[in-house]
C-alpha cells in the first residue's frame, strides 16, 4: 500500500533515529523517573514509525507495542515507587558491566533458543 503521505519515508527515518537516540539517553540515565519517561518517548517514536507505514504488519506491531508499553510503564512506575518507599532513593546507579549484560539480555529475550545456540 502507498504511504500515508508523500514524505512519510523521511518521517519514518527520523522517528527511528530519534528512538535510537532516546534509547542511548536511557542507557546513561540515573534518575528513575526520567529513565521511564525517555523510554516511553522512544517507544512512542517506534510506534509512530510503524503507524506511518500503513501496512498490516506495521499497524499490528504498533498496537502490540503500545499495549506492552502501557503495561510495562505502569509496572515500572509502581516498582520504582515501591523501591523509593523502601530505600528512599530516587537515583539508581549500575555498574557498566551490569548495564551491558542487561542490554544483551533485553535484546535477546525473544530470540528462539535454536538461534541463540548457533551463536555460542
Q: What is the pTM of this model?
A: 0.65
Residue 117 counted as domain residue: no
| Residues in the chain where the model's pLDDT stays below 70 | 1-4, 89-120
pLDDT value, residue 108: 57
Asked whether residue 109 is domain-assigned, the answer is no
Is residue 66 a part of any domain in this protein?
yes
Contacts 24+ apart (CB under 8 A), 94-97: none
Return the pLDDT at 12: 87
φ, ψ of residue 43 in degrees (nearest 5): -65, -40
Helices 32-52 and 8-28 pack at an angle, to 10 degrees, of 160
Whether the CB-CB separation of 40 and 73 falls below 8 Å is answered with yes
Q: Which domain holds residue 58?
A: 8-92
Q: What's the number of domains the chain is made of? A: 1
| pLDDT at residue 6 in the model | 80
The pLDDT, as a whole number, for residue 117 is 55
Spell 92-105 as b/e; 16+ CB within 10 A means b: eeeeeeeeeeeeee
User: Is 114 contained in some domain?
Assistant: no
In a domain, 99, yes or no: no
Specify if 118 maps to a domain. no
Residue 119 covered by a domain: no
Amino acid at each position: 500500500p502507498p504511504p500515508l503521505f508523500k514524505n512519510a519515508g523521511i518521517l519514518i527515518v527520523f522517528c527511528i533515529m530519534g528512538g535510537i537516540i532516546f534509547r542511548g539517553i536511557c542507557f546513561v540515565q540515573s534518575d528513575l523517573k526520567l529513565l521511564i519517561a525517555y523510554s516511553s518517548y522512544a517507544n512512542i517514536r517506534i510506534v509512530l514509525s510503524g503507524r506511518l507505514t500503513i501496512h498490516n504488519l506495521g499497524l499490528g506491531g504498533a498496537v502490540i507495542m503500545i499495549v506492552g508499553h502501557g503495561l510495562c510503564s505502569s509496572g515500572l512506575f509502581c516498582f520504582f515507587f515501591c523501591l523509593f518507599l523502601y530505600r528512599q532513593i530516587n537515583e539508581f546507579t549500575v555498574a557498566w558491566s551490569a548495564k551491558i549484560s542487561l542490554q544483551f539480555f533485553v535484546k535477546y529475550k525473544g530470540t528462539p533458543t535454536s538461534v541463540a545456540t548457533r551463536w555460542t
